Structure 1
Amino acid sequence: MSRLIAVRSAFHDECDRLGTVLRTLDRADLDRPTRCTPWTVADLLAHLRTGANRLADMLRDTPPGPAQVDAAGYFGAAKFTRQVDADRIESARSEAARHRRDAPPAGPGTVLDADFDRAWRATLSAVDAHPADRVVRTRHGDAMTVTEFLRTRVVEVGVHGLDLAEALDRPPWLTPTAARLIADLLTGGRALPAHLGWDRLTLIRKATGRSPRSRAEQDALDAADVRLLSFGG
């Protein structure tokens, strides 16, 4: 299986699973706070919808030149400046407010499920129309291949899915294909120290700050050269 096929499968699986969850939400669910302060569930879902569609928009632009960064580099803390983070937060809140205005007066209190479904499927259609090494420019100004940028979308949907599950008081729904891809990104494909005894979900929680790390655990991650990803909040 080529890398793009594997990444595409993980993106499809995780987005499809999230879409199933979205169809079960009501308006009260959308108002719940999340760990991604100050976002509510609605705000975080709007952020994910925008992120899921970002690659489709990027592929409409002229290729910028050779790729400069991989998926792990995309999540470097230095990219998330105070202004970038503020713009990201406000954009999601504005998008969520628009969805609330468009919501039907009765029944499920969200149109996010259909909108999210259109977004991620449009991205896959766009990806399928281009070669795996097609280069795009990110919102940070970096040049990345389609394959590497799609990997960042799996990370976003998968890790923020953990945030949503926590906010909704539901068990995590991270899919096996997405868990494998995110774990491999964190470890560079290397095995974790056996004494940690972590499964992929635990690794992802620990490495992204969703679960606390002890000093000994941090030392083990440093020794194993595990990448700690920054989400800007």
Structure 2
Amino acid sequence: MTVNFGTAASEFGTLVERVPRGALDGPGLGEWSLRELIGHTSRAISTVSDYLSAPEPATSTVHSASEYLEVVLRQQGDDEAIALRGRAAAQQLGDDPATAISELFGDAVRALALADPARLVAVGSDGRVAMPLREYLRTRVFELTVHGVDIADAAGLDWTPPSAHLIDALHLAATNATARDVGVEALRMLTGRRPDAGLDGVLAAGR
């Protein structure tokens, strides 16, 4: 199964439309309010058109979505900077996040329609990370899927992402766990070998 950025972004926009206005300034994730969490997640859409407007880099430095998550975010992530960008994005969305996100989605769709699917994109403000567009879009679907679940949980909404997106997110998360040397523990939790974690496990019956 393959992921589809357009589907993921559209599903996210529909989810945000369902979020009660009165919940936006309530708890979201960590130190973020729900509004700020939505703002952070909206960057999974806005960065597509932003990065496609920049010149194409000559060579790639990161070759896959899993490498991006394993190496770039783990080694270069700045939690404070990420939190501030989320807050800034929330302010840019204004009082009607759903409408603003629809406009961002339109910009991204138009940019993708004009782009060569095989091109590279420079990621980040410094442009030091360059990767294939198709793999960058996978990371955007990952963000929209994971944070979509976070948003639904914070807002008390029932929401399930497309199965292909959920499977790919699980694959990328498992790859990242393995890179951090906690893959065995992640497998134990998922398969019910850690009942204290609150998971019966998908393979609990096979114990």
After superposition, residues 99-178 of structure 1 pair within 5 angstroms as: 99=93, 102-103=94-95, 111-139=96-124, 141-178=128-165
Amino acid at match of 1:126: A
Cα offset, 1:14, TM superposition:
2.1
Distance 1:124 1:181, change over 3 A: farther
| Runs of at least 5 residues in structure 2 that lack an aligned partner in the other structure | 179-183, 192-207
SS of aligned partner of 2:28: coil
Q: Which one of 68, 71, 74 corresponds to residue 61 of structure 2?
A: 68
Say whether 1:79 aligns with 2:50. no
Report the Cα distance in structure 1 between the residues aligned to 2:98 and 2:146, rounded to whole angstroms.
Answer: 18
Higher helix proportion, which one? 2
- Between the two proteins, what is the percent identity of the paired residues? 22
Aligned match of 1:57: 50
Once the two structures are superposed, what CA deviation does each residue of 1:65-116 show, in whole Å capped at 9, x if it has no partner?
1222111121231121xxx2211211221332354xx43xxxxxxx111111
| Runs of at least 5 residues in structure 1 that lack an aligned partner in the other structure | 104-110, 189-205, 208-212, 221-233
Report the Cα distance in structure 2 between the residues aligned to 1:46 and 1:216, rounded to whole angstroms.
Answer: 32
Is residue 71–residue 151 contact of structure 1 (8 Å, CA) maintained in 2?
yes
Is residue 158–residue 174 contact of structure 1 (8 Å, CA) maintained in 2?
yes
Cα offset, 1:218, TM superposition:
6.1
Amino acid at match of 2:75: A
Amino acid at match of 1:79: Q
Report the Cα distance in structure 2 between the residues aligned to 1:57 and 1:122, rounded to whole angstroms.
Answer: 9
Is residue 28–residue 36 contact of structure 2 (8 Å, CA) maintained in 1?
no
Report the Cα distance in structure 2 between the residues aligned to 1:219 and 1:181, rounded to whole angstroms.
Answer: 16
Distance 1:215 1:121, change over 3 A: closer
Report the Cα distance in structure 1 between the residues aligned to 2:40 and 2:129, rounded to whole angstroms.
Answer: 20
Q: CA RMSD in A?
A: 2.9
TM-score by length of 1: 0.67
Once the two structures are superposed, what CA deviation does each residue of 1:16-51 show, in whole Å capped at 9, x if it has no partner?
22212222223221022123x111110011112222
Say whether 1:15 aligns with 2:9. yes
Is residue 158–residue 179 contact of structure 1 (8 Å, CA) maintained in 2?
yes
Aligned match of 2:39: 46
